[in-house]
Amino acid sequence: MPALSPSRPPRSLLAGVVVFLLAAALPGVIVWQLERNAIERERVRVAHLAGDHVHAIEHTIEHALSAAHALAALVRQGNGAVPDFETTAGKMLPFYPGVSELALAPGGVIRDVAPMAGNERAVGLDLLASPTQRKESLSARDSGRLTLAGPLELVQGGTGVVGRLPVFLQDGNGRSVFWGFTLVVMRLPGGLDMAHLSSLDHQNLDYELWRVHPDSGKKQIIARSSPVPLIEPVEQALKVPNATWTLSVAPARGWTHQLDIWMRLALGILVSLLLGYLARIFFELRAQKQLLEARVAQRTAEILAAQRQLKSTLNALPDLVWLKDADGVYLSCNPMFERFFGASEADIVGKTDYDFVGREQADFFREHDRAAMAAGTPSINEEWLSFADDGSRRLFETIKTPMLDDDGKPVGVLGVARDITKRAQAEQALMQSRQQAQQYLNIAGVMLIALDAEGRVQLVNHKGCDMLGAPEAEILGKDWIGHFLPERMRQDVRENVARMMKGDIAPVEYMENAILTRKGEERMVAWHNVLLRDESGRINGILASGEDITERKLAEQALHDSRESLRLLLDSMAEAAYGVDFDGNCTFANRAFLKMLGYQNEDEVLDKRIHALIHHSRADGSAYPESECSIHRAYLSNQAMNVSNEVFWRKDGVAIPVEYWSNPIVTDGVVVGAIATFIDITKRQQAEAQLALAAKVFEQSGEGILITDAQGTIIMVNQAFSAITGYSEAEALGQTPGMLASGRHDQAFYRAMWDAIATQGRWQGEMWNRRKDGGLYPEMLSIIRVLDAQGAVSHYIGISSDITQHKEAQAHIQRLAHFDPLTGLPNRALLNDRVRHDLSTAQRNHAELAIMFVDLDHFKNVNDTLGHRIGDALLVEVADRLKGVVREVDTVSRQGGDEFILLLPDTGAEGAAHVAGKLLEAVGQPYQIEGFELSVTLSIGIALYPGDGEDFESLSKCADAAMYRAKHDGRNTYRYFTAEMQARSAHSLKMENALRRAVERKQLQLHYQPQISLQDDRLVGIEALLRWEHPELGMIAPADFIPIAEESGQILPIGEWALRSAIRQMKAWIDAGLTPMTMSVNLSAVQFRHPHLPELVTQILDETGLAPQCLELELTESVAMDDAPAAIAVMDRLNARGVRMSIDDFGTGYSSLTYLKRLPLSELKIDKSFVQDIPHDPNDVALVETILSMASHLHFEVVAEGVENEAQFAFLRQQGCERFQGYHFQRPVEMSAWIERLR
One-letter amino acid of 735: Q
Q: Is residue 669's pLDDT more than 90?
A: no
Mean of the pLDDT values across residues 1217-1227? Answer: 87
Query: Residue 853: is it exposed, middle or buried by C-beta count within 10 angstroms (0-12/13-18/19+)?
Result: buried
Compute the distance between CA of residue 193 and CA of residue 196 in angstroms, rounded to an integer: 5
> What distance separates the 2 farthest-apart alpha carbons in the chain?
168
Sign of CA dihedral 14, 16, 22, 25: negative
Among residues 201, 164, 74, the alpha carbon closest in space to that of 1098 is found at 201
Q: Are 484 and 515 in contact (CB under 8 A)?
A: yes
pLDDT of residue 7: 43
- The letter for the amino acid at 1197 is E
Phi-psi region of 668 (alpha: psi -120 to 50; beta: other; left: phi over 0): left
Q: Tens digit of pLDDT for each residue in 524-538?
A: 998 888 888 888 888
**For the domain with range 7-188+205-224+251-283, which CATH number is right: 3.20.20.150, 3.30.450.20, 3.30.70.141, 3.10.350.10?**
3.30.450.20
CB atoms within 10 A of CB 473: 8
Determine the distance from the C-alpha atom of residue 1115 to the mean position of all C-alpha atoms in its chain, rounded to a whole number.
43
What would the pLDDT profile of 804-819 be if each residue is shown by its tens digit? 888 777 777 777 778 8
Instruction: Name the range with the highest mean pLDDT among 551-565, 625-639, 1056-1070, 1146-1160.
Output: 1056-1070
pLDDT at residue 562, rounded to an integer: 63
pLDDT at 17 over 90: no
Please report which confidence band the pLDDT of residue 3 belongs to, taking 50, 70 and 90 as the band edges: very low
- Long-range pairs for 1203-1209 at CB < 8 Å and ≥24 separation? 1203/1171, 1204/1172, 1207/1174, 1207/1175, 1208/1171, 1208/1172, 1208/1174, 1208/1175
DSSP state of 826: B
Which CATH class, in words, describes the domain spanning 694-808?
alpha beta
**Cα pseudo-dihedral 128, 130, 134, 138, rounded to 10:** -10
Q: Hey, what CATH topology would domain 317-422 get? A: Beta-Lactamase (3.30.450)
Q: β-pairing, 899-905 with 176-187?
A: unpaired
CB 187 within 8 A of CB 204: no
Tabulate helix, strand, coil % of the chain (nearest 5): 45, 25, 30
Cα–Cα distance for residue pair 1219/1216, rounded to 1 Å: 9
412 within 8 A of 449, measured Cβ to Cβ: no
Give first-to-last CA distance, the chain, whole Å: 84
What are the pLDDT digits (tens) for 502-532? 878 777 788 888 999 988 898 999 888 888 8
Higher-confidence residue of 478 and 986: namely: 478
Average per-residue pLDDT for the chain: 84
Closest-CA residue to 102 (of 130, 75, 133, 141): 75
CA angle 210, 120, 68 (to 5 degrees): 55
Q: How would you class 427 by CB atoms within 10 Å of its CB: exposed for 0-12, middle for 13-18, buried for 19 or more?
A: exposed
Between CA 87 and CA 92 the distance in angstroms is 9
Return d(Cα 1108, Cα 201) in angstroms, integer: 18
Q: Looking at the predicted structure, is the pLDDT value of residue 2 above 50?
A: no
pLDDT of residue 759: 92
Q: What band does 264 get if pLDDT is binned at 50, 70 and 90?
A: low
Q: Which of 1083, 1076, 1067, 1080 is nearest to 1024 (CA)?
A: 1080
Q: Return the amino acid letter for 526.
A: A
- The total number of residues written for the chain in this structure: 1239
pLDDT in tens, 892-920: 999 888 999 999 999 998 999 999 999 99
Residue 515 Cα to chain centre, angstroms: 65
Residue 1207 contacts by C-beta under 8 Å, 6 or more apart in sequence? 1174, 1175
For the segment 180-194, the average pLDDT, to the nearest whole number, is 86
Residue 1042 in this model has a pLDDT that exceeds 50: yes
The reported pLDDT for the residue numbered 1238 is 56
For residue 1109, what pLDDT band results from cuts at 50, 70 and 90? Answer: very high
Q: Identify the pLDDT of residue 1233.
A: 64
Of the chain, the percentage scoring pLDDT greater than 70 comes to 90
**Bridge partners of residue 990, in order along the sequence:** none
For the cut 90, the answer to whether the pLDDT of residue 841 exceeds it is yes
Q: Please state the φ and ψ torsions of residue 520, each to the nearest 5 degrees.
A: 90, 5
pLDDT value, residue 419: 84
Which residues are CB-neighbours of 1134 under 8 A, at least 6 positions away?
1093, 1094, 1097, 1113, 1141
Query: From CA 199, how far away is CA 1203, in angstroms rounded?
Result: 41
Cβ(651)–Cβ(597) under 8 Å?
yes
Write the pLDDT tens digit of every residue in 71-118.
888 888 888 888 888 888 888 888 888 898 999 999 999 999 999 888
Write the CA distances from 107 to 169, 173, 177, 821, 850, integer angstroms.
12, 20, 10, 57, 72
Determine the residue type at 232.
E
Q: In the predicted model, what is the mean pLDDT of residues 871-882?
A: 94
Specify the pairing of strand 1034-1036 against strand 1004-1013.
unpaired
The yes-or-no verdict on residue 9 having pLDDT over 60 is: no
| pLDDT of amino acid 276 | 66
pLDDT tens string 1155-1205: 677 778 888 888 888 888 888 888 888 888 888 888 888 888 889 888 988
Question: What region does 520 belong to: left with phi over 0, alpha with psi -120 to 50, or beta?
Answer: left
- Angle between helical axes of 859-866 and 868-885 (0-180°, round to 10): 150
Three-class SS state of 671: strand
Task: Identify the architecture of domain 555-680 in CATH.
Answer: 2-Layer Sandwich (3.30)
Beta strands in 1108-1157 (DSSP E): 1111-1116, 1140-1146
Find, among 744, 816, 807, 742, the residue nearest to 775 by Cα: 742
Cα of 508 vs its chain's centroid, Å: 63
What pLDDT sits at residue 593? 93
Q: What is the pLDDT of residues 574-605, one digit of tens each?
A: 789 998 888 889 988 999 999 999 999 889 99
Question: Among residues 896, 903, 889, 891, which one has the least CA distance to residue 955?
Answer: 903
Contact 658, 648 (CB under 8 A): yes
Q: What single string gives the DSSP state of each residue in 178-240?
A: EEEEEEEEEETTGGGGGGTTTHHHHTTEEEEEEEE-TTT--EEEEEES-SSPPSS-EEEEEEE
CATH classification number, 444-548, choose in 3.40.350.10, 3.30.450.20, 3.40.630.30, 3.20.20.20: 3.30.450.20
Equal CATH topology for 444-548 and 990-1166: no
Q: Tell me the pLDDT tens digit for each residue of 823-839.
A: 989 998 889 999 999 99
Q: 1171 Cβ partners below 8 Å, 6+ apart?
A: 1180, 1184, 1200, 1201, 1202, 1203, 1208, 1212, 1222
pLDDT of residue 915: 94
pLDDT at 5 over 60: no
Name the nearest CA neighbour of 734 among 718, 720, 707, 715: 715
Please give the average per-residue pLDDT across 728-741, as a whole number.
91
Domain spanning 990-1166: CATH superfamily: EAL domain (3.20.20.450)
Query: Can you tell me the mean pLDDT for 960-969?
Result: 87
For residue 325, the number of C-alpha atoms closer than 13 Å in the C-beta half-sphere is 7
Does residue 1000 have a pLDDT over 60? yes
pLDDT at 914: 93
Q: Does 305 score more than 80 pLDDT?
A: no
Which run of H or E residues covers position 502? helix 487-502
**Residue 201 and residue 250 in contact, taking contact as beta carbons nearer than 8 Å:** no
pLDDT at 440: 58
Which whole number is the average pLDDT over 463-479? 90
Q: Tell me the pLDDT band of 737, cut-offs 50, 70 and 90.
A: very high
Q: Which residues of 372-410 are buried (b: 16+ CB within 10 A; e: fewer)?
A: bbeeeeebeeeeebeeeeeeeebbbbbebebbeeeeeeb
Domain boundaries, the chain: 7-188+205-224+251-283, 317-422, 444-548, 555-680, 694-808, 819-905+917-951+959-977, 990-1166
- Homologous superfamily in CATH for domain 819-905+917-951+959-977: Reverse transcriptase/Diguanylate cyclase domain (3.30.70.270)
Banded model confidence at residue 438, pLDDT cuts 50, 70, 90: low
Kindly report, residue by residue over 1003-1031, the tens digit of the pLDDT: 898 999 888 887 777 788 899 999 998 88
Sorted by sequence, the CB contacts under 8 Å of residue 634 that are 6+ apart come out as 640, 641, 662, 663, 664, 674, 676
Please, which contacts does 614-621 make with residues 24 or more away whose CB atoms are closer than 8 Å? 614/648, 614/649, 614/650, 615/646, 615/648, 615/649, 616/649, 617/647, 617/649, 617/655, 618/646, 618/647, 619/646, 619/647, 619/655, 619/657
Angle between helices 11-77 and 258-316 (to 10 degrees): 150
- Asked whether residue 435 carries a pLDDT value surpassing 90, the answer given is no
Amino acid at 1051: I
For the stretch 973-994, pLDDT in tens is: 999 987 666 566 667 767 888 8
* DSSP codes, 114-145: ES-TT-GGGTT-BTTT-TTTHHHHHHHHHH-S
